[in-house]
Amino acid sequence: MGIFGRKDTETTAAATATVSPELAALTGAYTIDPAHSTIGFVARHAMVTNVKGKFNEFTGALHLDGTDPSKSSASIDVTMDSIDTGSADRDGHLKTADFFKTDEFPQMTFRSTAAQALGGDDYRITGDLTILGVTKPLTIDLEFNGAAKDPFGNERVGFEGKAEILRSDWGLTWNAALETGGVLVSDKIKLNFDISAIKNA
CB 131 within 8 A of CB 141: no
Q: How far apart are CA 7 and CA 131, in angstroms?
A: 37
Torsional class of 28: left (φ above 0), alpha (ψ -120 to 50), beta (otherwise): left
Q: Residue 18's pLDDT is what?
A: 40
Q: Residue 30's pLDDT is what?
A: 98
Neighbours of 122 (CB within 10 A): 13
State how beta strands 185-199 and 38-45 pair. Answer: antiparallel
Q: Which of 118, 153, 149, 200 is nearest to 22 (CA)?
A: 149
Q: How far apart are CA 95 and CA 161, in angstroms?
A: 25
pLDDT tens digits in sequence order for the chain, 201 residues long? 444 333 333 332 333 334 455 667 899 999 999 999 999 999 988 788 899 999 999 999 999 998 888 899 999 999 999 999 999 999 999 999 999 999 999 999 999 999 999 988 899 999 999 999 999 999 999 999 999 999 999 999 999 999 999 999 999 999 999 888 888 899 999 999 999 999 998
Q: Residue 8's pLDDT is what?
A: 37
Q: Residue 66's pLDDT is what?
A: 84
Whole-model pTM? 0.86
